[in-house]
Amino acid sequence: MKHYLYCPGIIAAKRIGAEEPPAEYLSERRPLPPELAAGYRRVEAEVPLRRPSLRGVADYIAVDRWGGVVPIETKAGPGPPATPEIYQLAAYMWMAETRGPVRYGILIKDKPHTIPYTPDLAEALMTIIKNIAQIYAGRDPPYVTRRCAACGYARHCIYKNTRRA
């Protein structure tokens, strides 16, 4: 999800077998604030989630007092959640529906941000998932960004030096 939102060309690179470059920031999981954890019946860490067209590992999955499933994702830095962060959490919300009802997720940056799992968010997520599936099936990405200098997949990108917009 985050790769597609960074640049759909990454999905095409992964389609041909490019492996994800190591990321130093993934070496340590950020702890869940104790005051947040106290509000849930159960909290699991590093939970693998899967649906037929998507898989990922949520930092945390909590169960609230009503039995609702709440994916929790931690990110570095202050400020409001960025769009790729919201869609990554939305993907975890969609995949977590296999465990029970999901009404919202929490994205923790400098503070917790509650992200409602709305029909509009779910619909936009499904569009992205369909686009990713089409790229894996062989279709060209709908666009390619020019963030090549900061991209770990740049050496695998067949679109890097083309004039695509």
> pLDDT at residue 122 above 90?
yes
Band of pLDDT at residue 23, cut at 50, 70 and 90? low
CA distance to 6, 91, 125, per residue, from 117 (Å): 22, 10, 11
pLDDT, position 91: 96
Q: How many CA atoms lie within 13 A of 39 on its CB side?
A: 11
In 17-67, which ranges are continuous DSSP H helix? 34-37
Rounded to whole angstroms, the Cα distance separating 102 from 49 reads: 14
Give percent above pLDDT 70 in the chain: 92
Q: What is this structure's pTM?
A: 0.85
Give percent above pLDDT 90 in the chain: 47
Q: Does domain 2-156 have CATH number 3.90.320?
A: yes
Band of pLDDT at residue 151, cut at 50, 70 and 90? confident
Rounded to whole angstroms, the Cα distance separating 104 from 86 reads: 11
Residues linked to residue 104 through DSSP beta bridges, in sequence order: 116
> pLDDT at residue 111 above 70?
yes
> pLDDT at residue 83 above 80?
yes
pLDDT, position 3: 86
Domain ranges of the chain: 2-156
Mean of pLDDT over the chain: 87
